[in-house]
Amino acid sequence: MNKEKTKCGFVAIIGKPNSGKSTIMNLLLGQNLSIVTRKAQTTRNKVKGILTGKDFQIIFLDTPGILEPGYELQSFMFSEIKVSLNEADVILYIVDAWKFNTKSFTETEEKFSDEFTGKKRIILLNKIDIKKKQEIEAIIKEIKQITGIEKVFPVSALKKINTDNLIDIIREEIPESPFYYEEDYLTDKPVRFFVAEIIRKKVLELFSEEIPYSVFIEVREYKEREDHKDFINADIIVERESQKVILLGKHGEKIKLIGEKSRREIEKFIGKEAFLKLFVKVRKDWRNDKNFLRQQY
């Protein structure tokens, strides 16, 4: 008796900062694996999300936003994009309809020409709910002319417009292969990675301007306790004393708020109660510290 054929492949999700990459991946997975905020450059690592169906398995790689590196952390983020593209069987390219710019789009095509060569690509024109129909049609036509790719689909991840058949579209492109992961796997990242991401998300949400991208979360201790709350000890690392003062707040009110909001979301994520202990520490210019970045990433 022949075993039923299965399909399995890696799909790299790429795009400019804030184009909707993480929102798309979370929508496709039905889980919030990648943090989503209104701030650009939210995603730093490629996050591996695994979607398994009856006869297919798609491994999504959510990458940092495409930009010109200005410091060591951004250089690391840029290298993560290239690694993901090289690993991928299919590239899911998210283009922001609202911010579409011919020159910028063409530059990206040239920047990743080597990585794009020979790869199957699907382009999603996202945020179509804030553009007129004729404008959307004109952008799609231009994208097709520049890339030579016919598979350009207008969608709105936020409004869930034209997103119902995205899995089928992607499934068509991945190769025949046995599954790489067990069927109940959702990600290969450890729980403490997502705990750190949740805390960072709350910092970004609460301090939109004061703390831009100079915040790093280090989960120093995570203890799963069967009959008690899970214990989490984490550091919020910033670059300047002034940022530490902002995060602490008067009489520690701000750090308490970060802790409360983070703990609630962490508990929702892990499905049980947790005790979260937070400290704010200063590590000057950590974004340009190669040794520190190498240790953490």
Q: What is the pLDDT of residue 40?
A: 45
Tokens 């991208």 locate to: 213
Distances (CA, A) of 147 to 18, 103, 122, 141: 22, 13, 11, 10
At 243-275, the pLDDT tens digits run: 899 999 999 999 999 999 999 989 988 888 999
Given this model, what pLDDT does residue 30 score?
81
- State the pLDDT at residue 71: 59
Q: Which residue has the tokens 């890696």?
A: 10
pTM of the model: 0.69
User: How high is the pLDDT of residue 297?
Assistant: 53
Domains and CATH numbers, the chain: 7-173 (3.40.50.300), 191-296 (3.30.300.20)
Residue type, position 84, single letter = S
| β-bridge partners, 56 | 7
Mean pLDDT, 10 residues at a time, over the chain (297 residues)? Answer: 77 89 85 54 63 92 75 70 89 94 93 91 95 94 95 93 94 94 81 86 81 78 86 92 91 95 90 93 79 63
State the pLDDT at residue 41: 46
Task: Report the b/e string of 132-160 with b at 16+ CB within 10 A.
Answer: eeeebeebbeebeeebeeeebbbbbbbee
Residue 265: which residues within 8 A CB-CB, separation 6 or more?
198, 201, 202
pLDDT of res. 2: 43
**% the chain with pLDDT above 90:** 48
Query: Residue 174: its pLDDT value, please?
Result: 96
The pLDDT, as a whole number, for residue 26 is: 84
